Amino acid sequence: MFSGIITDLGSVRAIEASGDSRFEFSTGFDTVAIDIGASVCCSGVCLTVIDKGEDWFAANVSAETLVRTTMGDWSEGSAVNFERALKIGDELGGHMVFGHVDGVATAVSVAEEGESRRIVFEAPDGPDVLHRMIAAKGSVAVDGVSLTVNEVEDSRFGVNVIPHTLAATTLGALGPGDRANLEIDMLARYIARLLEGK
């Protein structure tokens, strides 16, 4: 489990396509402290570390993950948000993030608002109707970043991103038409399931 507080902005170092693709990531993390088998949230996608070096780690990525997330668009040099899994006693500064991407959202508009930046996203269509699980003043994870929703209008929702987050994550380079991994707040998903009686 994660909190949506990004602690490193790294990049894709190499991709080797095979049965499952192997992604290598450059990171500022102290990889000595990362065990093989550990979980790292990579722009919202929970991946398992299978190999590592002094300033990099590797993970296998299934074809399903490539199709259902933005990872299929990544190439060598693509910027990636990293967060290591929480430990008991860690500060939960964002909200409960699981690294299970629900769909890919698209940035519709990006505008400066004071020192922050207002980004409006379009939630993807699909059988889960994700926008029904997004609420004003609720939480979402966009590319693994915990954000508070300002408003919701049909399938669109807006967030404000502060300067620190713009500088420390991939959201600072996001423009209209760009895609981002979206994870709905798990509590909202369970409530929706209960209301549907499923």
Give which of 121, 85, 118, 119 is closest to 103, Cα–Cα. 121
Looking at residue 55, which CATH number applies to its domain?
Answer: 2.40.30.20
Percentage above 90 pLDDT, the chain = 78
**Average confidence (pLDDT) over 32-53:** 98
Q: Measuring CA to CA, how many Å separate 111 from each of 50, 117, 120? A: 40, 6, 9
pLDDT at res. 93: 75
pLDDT at 194: 65
| Range 132-138 contact pairs with CB under 8 angstroms and sequence separation of 24 or more | 132/192, 133/184, 133/185, 133/188, 133/189, 133/192, 134/184, 134/188, 135/188, 138/185, 138/188
According to DSSP, residue 34 is labeled S
Strand partners, 107: 121
> Tell me: the pLDDT tens digits for 137-193?
999 999 999 999 999 999 999 999 999 999 999 999 999 999 999 999 877 666 766
Instruction: Identify the pLDDT of residue 178.
Output: 98
What pLDDT is recorded for position 130? 84
The answer on 135 and 184 residing in a single domain is yes
Given a cut of 60, is residue 15 above it in pLDDT? Answer: yes
For residues 76 and 115, membership in a common domain is answered with no
Q: Which one, of 69, 76, 56, lies nearest residue 15 by Cα? A: 76
Q: Could you tell me if residue 94 is inside a domain?
A: no
Q: Are residues 113 and 63 in the same domain?
A: no
Predicted local confidence at residue 53, as pLDDT: 97
Asked if residue 115 and residue 41 are part of one domain, the reply reads no
Determine the pLDDT at residue 6.
97
| Tens of pLDDT, residues 98-145 | 899 999 999 999 999 999 999 999 998 765 678 888 989 999 999 999
Displacement of CA 37 from its chain's centroid (Å): 20
pLDDT of residue 105: 97
Per-residue pLDDT at 63: 93
pLDDT at position 87, please? 82
Q: Same domain for 108 and 192? A: yes
Q: Above pLDDT 70, what percent of the chain?
A: 93
Same domain, 117 and 182: yes
- Whether 95 is covered by a domain: the verdict is no
**197: Cβ contacts below 8 Å, ≥ 6 apart:** none
Tally of domains in the chain:
2
Whether the per-residue pLDDT at 27 is higher than 70: the answer is yes
- Arithmetic mean of pLDDT over the chain: 92
In this prediction, residue 193 carries a pLDDT of 62
